[in-house]
Each structure stands twice: as structure tokens, then as C-alpha cells.
A = this chain, B = another copy of it.
């Protein structure tokens, strides 16, 4: 007899997302959070932190394409890239596909996430031993405070602003991010859902506005997060994410993507009116 195993992610007190589980592959509790990897029916392997779905094999390409290729195709020559978080390895995998990148530093606070993904989700973790990747297990907040390096692109691939990721949504952190970005640097950050978490988006964008001359929001469709319509923030010292985007570089790269393409790049910055109204004064999207 097989047991009928389901996991349920509750969102506030009015929504639940249930996924059929075939097998629990890993369950642990780190200093920061619970970490689970399960084999699901319908979504492949799935990583959960504190019971929240982080990554599934079925749709992770959407998130990782959009958090990575948008800033890396806006910056004309990204050589030195920093990832804060991103323990599953999917963002690093996509960053390392760009020929211009000479070095990618990834600072993940939770070794257990990295190890669980190395062992069970090679689809995302496969490039964590790449020669251009420096993987640091440590606190990203401390890292950007102390580093003397300058980065062309910083990607804040964080969990929600509860638990270990909370400081990653604050102004002190982004002041340090600004300081360790090159003069034409870009920071892109996981930006939550416009349907269900606009207050978090407003709060994060207020922080970015206080630090950066330009702030934007762009969206994509995430299959397994509550709300579906998910966002990244794009804060920039110099480049406009659409006007300064040279679309010919996408074809010239020779890269083939499962989600991202040059038309979608600009389209992602076209936001529905309820988002534009909710974030009025906080975003420079035209």
C-alpha cells in the first residue's frame, strides 16, 4: 500500500497550495531554517525552506532565467558578479553561462541548503564546483559590509523577508550593496508577488529609492509560488533596463533559454495597472 502523501503550503489564513509527494528525500533543521527536499508528482524534485516552496525542477528555469539574464544582458560587459543567497545553485548556473563573466561569488548563509541541493537536485546545483565560482558559506549582509571588491551585477536571490533573509530587505544592506557595485552596477532582487505582497514590494522599493538613482520592478510567471505573478526589483546606478538593453546581444550570445528571450526582456517591465498604481512614485517603469 502506498500512502497518500501531500504537502501543503499555507499562505496567510486564506490560501493553501497542495503538492502530491512521492518521496521525502531529505529533511533537516539548520541553524537558520528547516530544509526539505521531496520528490513530487507533477513538479519533479522540490526544495522547501521552513515549509515554503523555493524551487521545483519543473519551473525553476523561469525564476533563474529572469533573475539572471535581465541584468546580465543590460550590463554591457558583466565580469564580476555577486550572488547573495541562491543556495540551490540555479542562479549561479545561469550566471556562469555568460562568456563575459570572469568570476562569480556566491554567499549563501545556509550550508544545509547547498548540501541538500548538491545531493538531491543536481539540475540546479550542477555548477556549484565551477572554476569561476567562489562559494562562500556566510552572511551576505556581513559580506557586502566588508568586501573591498567591486561587482558589476549583484543578484539578491533570497527567501521571503522572514527568518534569515529579513536583513536583506533593509536600507543598511542596500547601502553596502551600492558601495560594492561598480560605477555602472546593477542589483536585482527577489521581489515577491504583486497580487499578495504589495506591501513588501512597496517597502523594498522605498529602500531602493533611498539608495539608487533608478528603481524598477519586472515580472514573470512562477508556477509554484502563491500568486503566480512574481517580481524582481532592478536598481541601477546608470543603465535603464529597457532603453539601454541591446537586444542583439541575446542572439549574439549563442545561448538558448527555456524562459527568457529578448522580447520578453522588455515585456517584463510592462506592468498591469494595479501594480503601477500600487507602486506609483516608487518605480521608474514607463
Contacts and interface: CB of A to CB of B under 8 A. Distances in A.
Contact of A227 (B13, B19, B223, B259): B223
Nearest to A17: B17
A286 B13 CA distance: 42
A42 interface: yes
Contacts of A263: 270, 286
A32 interface: no
A258 interface: yes
A41 B14 CA distance: 6
A243 B57 CA distance: 37
Interface in A235-286: 256-261, 263-264, 266-268, 270-274, 276, 286
The range of chain A's interface size is 35 or more
B16 A17 contact: yes
A190 interface: no
Residue of A62, A227, A263 contacting most chain B CB atoms (<10 Å): A263
A26 interface: no
One complex includes copies of this chain to the number of 2
Interface in A181-237: 195, 219-223, 227-229
Contacts of A13: 20, 41-42
Contacts of A14: 19-20, 40-43
A8 B15 contact: no
A27 to B, nearest CB: 20
Given A59-B195, A222-B228, A272-B261, A18 B8 contact: yes
A234 to B, nearest CB: 16
Contacts of A270: 261, 263-264, 266-267
Interface in A10-45: 12-20, 40-43
A259 B107 CA distance: 38
Nearest to A265: B270
Interface of A: 6, 8, 12-20, 40-43, 59, 61-62, 195, 219-223, 227-229, 256-261, 263-264, 266-268, 270-274, 276, 286
7 contacts: A13-B41, A16-B16, A220-B272, A221-B221, A261-B273, A264-B270, A264-B273
